[in-house]
Amino acid sequence: MAHGLDKAETHSPTWRWLGLELATVETGAAAVVMPTRAEMGNHAGVVHGGFISLLADSAMGRSVATAYPEGERHYSFDLKLTFISPGRIGESLRAVAKVLHSGRRTGVAECRVEGDDGRLIATATASFIVYLPKE
């Protein structure tokens, strides 16, 4: 569910649990930050790709919300990620998402996930099915 640019937003259970925070938001874009912690580690001792995926999906969904009026709903349908360098346990990861397309039935966004030193951790694209509010 989306609330455009309304800043007083209520976080979802996932955002609260993992500590995701909206860093910036404007029409067509959003940046979301996620702190990482020891429980997010994989066998190689770096951040499990699934959490990076979750962060990217969250930021892209948030960006898509800014492109539609209050009351629309959108669901990620396709999610594509490329993992480029590992996330280190303890650093905050930042996902910067941008809307590429906002049609009546579908929305498309892309995203970069960066480490706290700005290195590129992953790149992602997502497609969303959009339900516009009844007029």
Question: How far is residue 79's CA from residue 74's CA, in Å, rounded to a whole number?
Answer: 14
Question: How far is residue 119's CA from residue 123's CA, in Å, rounded to a whole number?
Answer: 11
**Does 123 participate in binding a second copy (rule CB under 8 A)?**
yes
**Does 100 participate in binding a second copy (rule CB under 8 A)?**
yes
Among 5, 6, 21, 42, binds a second copy (CB under 8 A): 42
Distances from the Cα of 13 to the Cαs of 24, 66, 68, 110, in angstroms? 20, 20, 23, 24
Among 28, 92, 108, 116, binds a second copy (CB under 8 A): 108
**Does 96 participate in binding a second copy (rule CB under 8 A)?**
no
Among 23, 28, 29, 76, binds a second copy (CB under 8 A): 76
Q: What is the DSSP annotation of 20-77?
A: -EEEEEETTEEEEEEE--GGGB-TTSBB-HHHHHHHHHHHHHHHHHTTS-TT-EEEEE
Among 5, 6, 14, 132, binds a second copy (CB under 8 A): 14
**Does 81 participate in binding a second copy (rule CB under 8 A)?**
yes
Identify residue 46 by its one-letter amino acid code. V
Interface ranges with a second copy (CB under 8 A): 1, 12-14, 16-17, 38-44, 48-51, 53-55, 57-58, 73, 75-84, 86, 100-101, 105-106, 108, 110, 120, 123, 125, 127, 129
